[in-house]
């Protein structure tokens, strides 16, 4: 996976003005139109989940998509209103009203701006690859399952006949998307599939659900709107917890999607720049009375799968989405939902890492548990909980494995002193094992601990050494510590009086401890 530390890339960033290849220009424009069509039902659905109007979601998709496309750290990645954020917004809207939602979106953006300003995007590198696999697989399943909500009318499932009609149109859409590239790649197969199915339905008069059944998308230009909430500490206490959660979920989903696009395209994105763009986009979105958003893995996969690699594709998607609202709402509302559902089914299938199923039997058991666990938690709860759980579990596994790797070899030197030669890392998890390696009562008068092949990592290690020195002192023995770095010696307490300092060469590392200046 390419590094994503936020540093400048050796690969040049491609701006709108640098797309000189006519084929790339056409690819980005057509892909942007396809993405715009796919954004419509998603934005409406997520708006309804958050208990706000469809236009609130559509305007959010426009602002987030446009600003991140222009200024983000990952050309080709698509952002908009997302379900992961919508489910968090529900309780805020229900309890306090939609104006508090707009205020929380602004504060969410400010938190994300701070995250990017302090260049914390590099910490996305701490997400292990098994967590990435679980994230991708979990979101693929979420995208797949979310489409079945369109098979309901008024909260009840459709009739069998309606299911069959929808199923047939979905199958036709999927067939066109997969088969057309075998004949030509001149235009995105997804766009052809949507237009073809829409044309067939319009020509034959087939009775099936359309985009218009979800809600009207007709509207005007979004208007600037300062959230109508009291500017008091009480308001801050209400929205701050929601804003923090929204900011965290938005950044996690955006930066992990950035990582995924990096891997697919073999290029390098800029996490810190993306964080700043996401933050700015949400501040603007909140000031125009929308629900905000973050990166969308489904639409990003559509865009990348179509061959779009530049900022232009995202800009086109945003502009066409606004054009749909202003000028083409009547026509867009006539598009069968089956065509867009079929497209999202294809996206889910292509997003899921099918090779990971076979790999589960070959990779270490703890990695397999992480992949499955993150996938299940993503489906059952939310992305932030899933990723954080996976990272914590991976960290605990790492600590446990390294705690068991500290070993010792003993020998008696020419002076009759017993020498313990340590090998491994001494830190909080291995401190107990370290103490069990020594037998002060049975050792001779002089004992040497050789740290040449060991590494003292944290303050728990210092405390373990100090406690061991106390044990030898109580046993009436003299303890000598060799090759222990000067910063470690400065932190030792009871061991200082019995540590031999000047006779041995010190290693060239420093421990991580808060007591150091």
Q: CA dihedral in degrees (75, 66, 215, 49; nearest 10)? A: 70
Tell me the CA distances in angstroms from 388 to 4, 29, 392, one per residue in order. Answer: 19, 37, 6
Beta carbons within 8 Å of 35's beta carbon, 6+ residues apart: 78, 299, 302, 303, 313, 314, 317
CA neighbours closer than 13 Å in the CB half-sphere of residue 131: 23
pLDDT the model gives residue 499: 53
Buried b (16+ CB within 10 A) or exposed e, 294-307: bbbbbbbbbbbbbb
Please state the separation of Cα 228 from the chain's center in Å: 32
Q: Is there a contact between 73 and 258 (Cβ–Cβ < 8 Å)?
A: yes
SS3 at position 137? helix
Share of the chain above pLDDT 90, in %: 71
Query: What are the extents of the domains in the chain?
Result: 22-395, 404-498
Beta carbons within 8 Å of 260's beta carbon, 6+ residues apart: 132, 136, 297, 300
Average pLDDT over residues 458-462: 88
Share of the chain above pLDDT 70, in %: 90
Of 231, 308, 255, the closest CA to residue 27 belongs to 308
Average pLDDT over residues 100-110: 98
Burial class for 234, CB neighbours closer than 10 Å (0-12, 13-18, 19+): exposed
Tens-place pLDDT, residues 180-229? 999 998 889 999 999 999 999 999 999 999 999 988 999 999 999 999 99
Structure tokens at 309: 């690699």
CATH match for 404-498 among 3.90.550.10, 3.40.50.2020, 3.30.750.24, 3.40.190.10: 3.30.750.24
pLDDT the model gives residue 20: 61
Tell me the CA distances in angstroms from 476 to 415, 468, 469, 479, 494, one per residue in order. Answer: 18, 13, 11, 10, 14
- Euclidean distance between CA atoms 346 and 173, whole angstroms: 9
- Euclidean distance between CA atoms 9 and 20, whole angstroms: 21
Beta carbons within 8 Å of 250's beta carbon, 6+ residues apart: 82, 84, 85, 108, 112, 278, 282, 292, 293, 294
Q: Is there a contact between 173 and 197 (Cβ–Cβ < 8 Å)?
A: yes
Average pLDDT over residues 362-368: 93
Q: Is the dihedral of CA 68, 72, 78, 80 positive or negative?
A: negative
**Average pLDDT of the chain, as a whole number:** 89
Any idea which of 3-12, 64-73, 395-404, 412-421 has the lowest mean pLDDT?
Answer: 3-12
Per the listing, tokens 């087939």 go with: 206
pLDDT the model gives residue 345: 94
């Amino acid at each position: 996976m390419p590094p994503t530390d936020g540093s400048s890339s050796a690969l040049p960033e491609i701006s709108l003005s640098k797309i000189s290849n006519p084929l790339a220009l056409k690819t980005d424009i057509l892909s942007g139109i396809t993405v715009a069509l796919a954004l419509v039902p998603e934005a409406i659905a997520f708006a309804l989940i958050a208990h706000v109007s469809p236009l609130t979601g559509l305007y959010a998709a426009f602002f987030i998509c446009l600003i991140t496309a222009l200024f983000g750290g990952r050309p080709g990645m698509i952002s908009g209103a997302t379900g992961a954020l919508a489910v968090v917004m529900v309780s805020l809207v229900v309890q306090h009203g939609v104006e508090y939602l707009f205020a929380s979106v602004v504060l969410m953006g400010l938190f994300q701006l701070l995250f990017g300003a302090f260049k914390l995007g590099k910490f996305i590198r701490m997400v292990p690859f098994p967590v990435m696999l679980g994230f991708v697989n979990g979101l693929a399943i979420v995208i797949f399952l979310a489409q079945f909500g369109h098979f309901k009318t008024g909260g009840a499932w459709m009739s069998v006949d309606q299911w069959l009609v929808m199923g047939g149109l979905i199958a036709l859409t999927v067939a066109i998307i997969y088969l057309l590239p075998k004949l030509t790649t001149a235009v995105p197969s997804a766009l052809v599939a949507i237009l073809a199915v829409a044309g067939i339905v319009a020509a034959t008069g087939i009775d099936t659900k359309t985009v218009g059944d979800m809600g009207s998308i007709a509207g005007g230009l979004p208007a600037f709107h300062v959230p109508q909430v009291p500017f008091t500490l009480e308001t801050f206490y209400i929205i701050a917890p929601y804003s923090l959660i929204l900011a965290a979920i938005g950044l996690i989903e955006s930066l992990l999607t950035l990582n995924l696009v990096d891997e697919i395209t073999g290029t390098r994105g800029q996490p810190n720049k993306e964080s700043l763009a996401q933050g700015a986009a949400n501040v603007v979105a909140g000031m125009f009375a929308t629900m905000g958003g973050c990166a969308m893995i489904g639409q990003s996969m559509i865009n990348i799968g179509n061959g779009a690699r530049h900022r232009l594709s995202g800009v086109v998607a945003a502009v066409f989405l606004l054009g749909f609202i202003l000028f083409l709402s009547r026509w867009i509302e006539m598009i069968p939902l089956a065509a867009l559902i079929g497209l999202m089914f294809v996206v889910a299938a292509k997003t899921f890492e099918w090779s990971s199923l076979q790999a589960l039997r070959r990779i270490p058991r703890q990695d397999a548990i992480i992949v499955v666990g993150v996938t299940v938690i993503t489906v059952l709860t939310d992305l932030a909980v899933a990723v954080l759980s996976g990272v914590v579990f991976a960290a605990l596994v790492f600590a446990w494995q390294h705690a068991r790797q500290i070993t010792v070899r003993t020998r008696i030197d020419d002076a009759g002193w017993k020498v313990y030669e340590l090998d491994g890392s001494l830190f909080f998890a291995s401190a107990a094992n370290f103490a069990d390696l020594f037998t002060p009562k049975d050792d001779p008068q002089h004992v040497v601990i050789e740290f040449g092949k060991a590494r003292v990592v944290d303050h728990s290690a210092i405390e373990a050494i100090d406690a061991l020195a106390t044990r030898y002192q109580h046993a009436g023995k003299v303890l000598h510590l060799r090759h222990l770095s000067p910063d470690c010696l400065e932190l030792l307490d009871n061991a200082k009086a019995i540590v031999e300092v000047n006779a041995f060469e010190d290693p060239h590392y420093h421990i991580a401890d808060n007591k150091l200046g």
